[in-house]
Amino acid sequence: MSALSKGGGPQAHRRVTLRDLALELGVSDRAVSQALNPRASNVKLNPKTAERIQELAVLRNYRRDSRARSMRYGRFYNIGYFEAKKKTTAWPLLGAESGVCDAASAHDYHIVLVRLPSDMSSEPEAVPSIFRESSLDALIISHAGNLTEELENIIDTSGMPIIYLNEKKSHNAVYVDDFRGSQEITRYLISLGNRKIVHYTDTLSHYSAIDRKAGYEKAMKEAGLKPEILKSVDSHSGECSAWLDAHKDVEAIACYNDLFALHMFRMLYHTGIRVPTHLALTGFGDDFSRDCCPVELTTMRTPFYEMGKAAVEMALELINGNLLSVPSRVFSQELVVRDSTRNRLDDKPSSNSKRRANQPKLA
């Protein structure tokens, strides 16, 4: 009778071990280990024996003991994913998390999700305990400019390999060329015949807000046009309505990201302005611009998934090479043209007043 079948079947409350499988099949522990974790340096098993071991492992719901592997190789095989953000701030990197998880799984690592607010005043001991107790080999950080000075100091002195996701640094970071992306989408709007183009941006100090504003201004000045910036406004305050009422000649609005574009759609709707009939609208990121916006949104697609994978690959470089830093990886974005700007291609040259003659009077 096998070790697993004693007492009428597998023990319901005990985890199946490698030794259990070896005893049931009458093979060595090493043979089971080799069959379930094949390595070129190990002794080769008879293919039929390896197949028998693998089939039994599935049947018995065997799960590898990560503690034993950690002790053997001196690693935890865990990478932390730390999204530092304010409680009231939504900053999703949609797709990046999937890239992080898939890349980690491909290298037989686990992802440990670390969720903390950037304001640690109410829990001053929470962050140090993470670095003392969470058993991480490296940490991937996404923070969008929300790290406090206290938190940065803790991270910098932790001694842990760190990769920053969506942060502009010369080393240990993955980010996109937002300056070029913003320049490209602004040039596209200009190519449609738009001259009065406004950049609707956030008040963040994050590099993306700074670089997108700079790329927009560069493209406008190159075309001999005057840049104009609209900072984030409350969609319920009437502030946007008042601004639009004072800027009836606006032909296009280039938004900081897709979420801002969605907010702008809502504000424009309440003032009677329709996209793209009365003006063109663009986003940035391609987070949800096809499915969630009233009109499919022209945007700059950011390769979030590939960035997430790159962050894990860089973290593994630090771990495997026992390195302090690796060069940052910079990704490019792709212009995706959709309905929010397409009708502008059919416009014929005319004065701004005639182009917007049919626009309803603003409230």
Identify the burial level of 159 via C-beta atoms within 10 angstroms of its C-beta, where 0-12 means exposed, 13-18 middle and 19 or more buried.
exposed
pLDDT recorded at residue 85: 62
CA 350 to chain centre: 42
173-176 and 197-201: which strand pairing? unpaired
Q: What is the 3-state secondary structure (H, E, C) of 54-72?
A: HHHHHHCCCCCCHHHHHHH
Residue with tokens 């280039």: 254
For residue 256, name the pLDDT band (cuts at 50, 70, 90): very high
Q: Give the model confidence (pLDDT) of 75-99 as tens digits.
A: 788 999 987 665 544 455 668 889 9
**Tens digits of per-residue pLDDT, 30-60?**
888 788 776 544 557 888 888 888 888 888 8
Q: CA 22 to CA 290: how far, in whole Å?
A: 53
Among 109, 118, 10, residue whose Cα is nearest residue 309 = 109
User: How many Cα atoms within 13 Å fall on the side-chain side of residue 330?
Assistant: 11
Query: Around Cβ 308, how many Cβ atoms within 10 Å?
Result: 27
SS3 267: helix
Q: How confident is the model at residue 165, as a pLDDT?
A: 94
Do 75-176+307-332 and 178-302+335-355 have matching folds?
A: yes
**Predicted confidence (pLDDT) at residue 192 exceeds the cutoff of 50:** yes
199 Cβ neighbours under 8 A, 6+ residues apart: 186, 212, 213, 216, 217, 227, 228, 229, 230, 253, 254, 256
Look at 37 and 252; give whichever has higher pLDDT. 252
The pLDDT assigned to 46 comes to: 85
Q: Please choose, from the candidates 203, 175, 151, the residue with its C-alpha nearest in 3D space to the C-alpha of residue 311.
A: 175
Closest CA to 176 of 287, 333, 336, 289: 333
Average pLDDT rounded to a whole number, residues 61-69: 66
Q: For 264-278, how does the pLDDT look when each residue is reduced to its tens digit (9 = 90+)?
A: 998 888 888 899 999
pLDDT tens digits for range 203-243:
777 899 999 999 999 999 999 999 999 987 766 566 777 88
3 state SS of 175: strand
Structural contact between residues 332 and 184, judged by C-beta atoms closer than 8 angstroms: no
In angstroms, the CA 361 to CA 99 distance is: 47
Q: How confident is the model at residue 65 (pLDDT cuts 50, 70, 90)?
A: low
**Residue 123: CB partners within 8 Å, gap ≥ 6?**
116
Given a contact cutoff of 8 angstroms between Cβ atoms, the answer to whether 296 and 338 are in contact is: yes
What is the average pLDDT across 238-257?
86
Q: Mean pLDDT for the chain?
A: 80
Asked if 282 and 298 touch (Cβ cutoff 8 Å), the reply is yes
Q: Is the pLDDT of residue 350 over 60?
A: no
**CATH architecture label of 75-176+307-332:** 3-Layer(aba) Sandwich (3.40)
pLDDT(158) > 80: no
How many Cα atoms sit within 13 Å of 266 on the Cβ side? 13
pLDDT, residue 337, reads 96
Are 254 and 314 in contact, with CB atoms under 8 Å apart? no
Q: What's the confidence (pLDDT) of residue 32?
A: 83
Residue 328 phi/psi, 5° resolution? Answer: -70, 155
Please report the DSSP string for 9-57 in residue order. Answer: SS-TTS---HHHHHHHHT--HHHHHHHHS--TTSPPPPHHHHHHHHHHH
Q: Quick one: pLDDT at residue 352? A: 37
Compute the distance between CA of residue 303 and CA of residue 331 in angstroms, rounded to an integer: 7
Band the pLDDT of 6: cuts 50, 70, 90.
Answer: very low
pLDDT confidence tier of residue 126, bands split at 50, 70 and 90? low
* CATH topology assigned to domain 178-302+335-355: Rossmann fold (3.40.50)
Q: Where are the domains of the chain?
A: 18-64, 75-176+307-332, 178-302+335-355
Across 116-142, average pLDDT: 69
The answer, yes or no, to whether residue 341 has pLDDT greater than 60, is yes
> In 10 A of CB 102, how many CB atoms?
14
Helix (H, G, I), strand (E, B) or coil at 326: coil
What mean pLDDT do residues 87-112 have? 79
pLDDT at site 63: 73
